[in-house]
Chain A
Amino acid sequence: MPVTLWAATLPAVVEELLNEMAEAVRESAQIPDEHLLSLKFVFGSSAIQALDLVDRQSITLISSPSGRCIYQVLGSSGKTYICLASCHYCSCPAFAFSVLRKSDSLLCKHLLAVYLSQVMKTCQQLSVSDKQLTDILLMVKKQDV
């Protein structure tokens, strides 16, 4: 997964941390404790919740033959949320409130979980038809009404 994905949306310090984590995973297949501590320092309790989502393999990369793809995250409450693969968007209420409206968070736990699952290469994969992908993207809209 290209790491440049974060470039436009996250502050440089977060991008650097994620890149370092990706490198550590490539070298030793695990993430050093100090990186996890930095993660907790930057994202607070979201970091733990996001790591928990990754552990439970709650992140699915959904792709269609066209090459378009999106992420689906199964939240702790059992609801699923959609995160776009190319830019910063999650369909969960926390993203709407804390990230968009109040601007007091950089991202929600689902988006962080997506980025972490890319780093750790622990995404589930699901192939759907082009038509099905359209329906999933359109449903995001209905979901938050």
Chain B
Amino acid sequence: MAETLRRVLNAGGAAGLEAEEGAAEGGSLLLLGGPGSGKTALLFAAALEIAGEGRGPVLFLTRRPLQSLPSRSGSALDPLRLQKIRFQYPPSTQELLRFLCSAHESRGPTPALLLVDSLEDFLEEEAGTQDTAYLAALLLDTAAFFSQRAGPGRGCGLMVALQTPGDGDSDGGGGALLLSLLLRYFPARCWLQPGPCGLRVCLEPGEGIPRAEWSLVLGPDGEMSATPCATQAGDPSTGPGAQG
């Protein structure tokens, strides 16, 4: 999934930065950022990217309906792509669990991407350690099942957005534990933070793969323009992980 996001960000920047055709990709990614940091816009861009590949529909799970569709230019808002994105609005954690537990009963085309926006909406009701772990594990299990059904070389990706507590939020105890728990299940992460110009997007694809950074500006209509940044490797103070 990290590769899909890389493609999305590079396509949103200057022309000519289009990444090489990625192989059909499964895998998972956790998208982390404060309130209003552009997580939904990035999820939606990833949904359009995968929908355009024609490998299967995209399942977009969110508790609250999107306020507006980002009006991006060009082929991105092609109605054929939009048709491939299926929104589901589970009204409660229990309904989300029911959806995931019964995913194998659904007939119809196998999704190529499973997206969950605002996972925190599904965590507040019952924030127990084991409940959170089971939800994370079930998300991975459902994506793994879709991948298995899709067949070799296809795969179903999983991208989950989670709001991290703001700086002024002193309630670090329980939230920090749940975050560290989720990080165990998602080795690939993308952090969104306010930067000097727009947003700083930091992609950590996982063990052994170097980090990549972009500076991202989101327009009023949801259009994105991303500029790759040189990463300062070896300087731990610049890593978002170090800021806890």
Chain A residues within 8 Å of B, Cβ to Cβ = 8, 64, 66-68, 84-89, 91, 95-96, 100-101, 130-131, 133-134, 137-138, 140-141, 144
Contacts and interface: CB of A to CB of B under 8 A. Distances in A.
Nearest to A65: B104
B97 interface: yes
A1 to B, nearest CB: 13
B129 A134 contact: no
Contact of A131 (B97, B100, B105, B144): B105
B187 interface: yes
A8 B141 contact: no
B105 A130 contact: yes
B104 A86 contact: no
A99 B44 CA distance: 34
Contacts, number: 69
A95 B181 CA distance: 13
Contact of B138 (A8, A64, A137, A144): A137
Residue of B128, B130, B187 with most partner-chain A CB within 10 A: B130
A67 B106 CA distance: 12
Contact of A67 (B138, B141, B145): B145
B140 A86 contact: yes
Contacts of B148: 67-68
B89 interface: no
Contacts of A96: 129-130, 133
Interface of B: 97-98, 100-105, 128-131, 133-134, 137-138, 140-141, 144-145, 148-149, 177, 181, 185, 187
Given A134-B102, A138-B101, A68 B145 contact: yes
Given A8-B187, A67-B104, A138-B97, A144 B130 contact: yes
Given A86-B141, A96-B129, A140 B134 contact: yes
> SS class of chain B's interface: helix, strand, loop or mixed?
helix
B105 A86 contact: no
B101 A137 contact: yes
A62 to B, nearest CB: 12
Given A84-B137, A89-B137, A130 B130 contact: no
A99 to B, nearest CB: 9
A23 B95 CA distance: 43
Given A8-B187, A89-B133, A144-B130, A134 B140 contact: no
Contacts of B103: 68
Given A64-B104, A91-B130, A134-B102, 17 more contacts: A67-B149, A68-B103, A84-B137, A86-B141, A87-B185, A88-B137, A88-B185, A89-B141, A96-B130, A100-B181, A101-B177, A130-B104, A130-B105, A133-B104, A137-B101, A137-B138, A141-B97
A1 B129 CA distance: 29
Residue of A8, A66, A67, A137 with most partner-chain B CB within 10 A: A137
A144 B243 CA distance: 34
6 contacts: A84-B141, A87-B137, A87-B140, A87-B141, A95-B130, A141-B131
A51 B66 CA distance: 51
Contacts of B104: 64, 66-68, 130, 133-134
A30 to B, nearest CB: 31
Contacts of B102: 134, 137
Nearest to A136: B101
B129 A100 contact: yes
A141 B89 CA distance: 20
A20 B211 CA distance: 33
